[in-house]
Amino acid sequence: MYAVIASGGKQYRVAVGDTLDVEKLTPDDDGAIALRPVMLVDDEGAVTLDKGKLADATVTARLVEQTKGPKITVFTYRNKTGYRRKSGHRQHLTRIRVDDISL
């Protein structure tokens, strides 16, 4: 069984036991995270795309750790003016482990 979820403006294909990095999420007190909306659920060939059924579907995950992504260097310049700026960015990420997919 697998599902396609949307989180942080991206879509992820997840199955039970998968570990993935998503944009920073805030878990509940016990570390559980409910990932919604669910875009698609495939239960061994039985694909569910019906929005009415998927409204009740949830993917439950557990927080593994809060981390940062790789450093991205941003360099901006304007031609013939001597304008140069160099900066960097590291995205805050949440590593989660998928525990359950319920339809």
Which residues neighbour 75 within 8 Å (Cβ) at sequence distance 6 or greater? 84, 85, 86
What average pLDDT values come out for the chain (103 residues) when binned by 10 residues?
93 95 91 91 88 91 95 97 97 96 89
Quick check: pTM over 0.85?
no
Task: Give the CA-trace dihedral at 71, 72, 78, 79, to 10 degrees.
Answer: 100
pLDDT at position 50 is 87
pLDDT at position 60 is 95
The angle subtended at Cα 72 by Cα 69 and Cα 27, nearest 5°, is: 25
pLDDT at position 40 is 93
Q: Which of helix, strand or coil describes residue 91?
A: coil
Cis status of the peptide bond prior to 37, with omega within 30 of 0: yes
Intra-chain end-to-end CA distance of the chain, in Å: 11
The structural domains of the chain, with segments of one domain joined by +, span 2-102
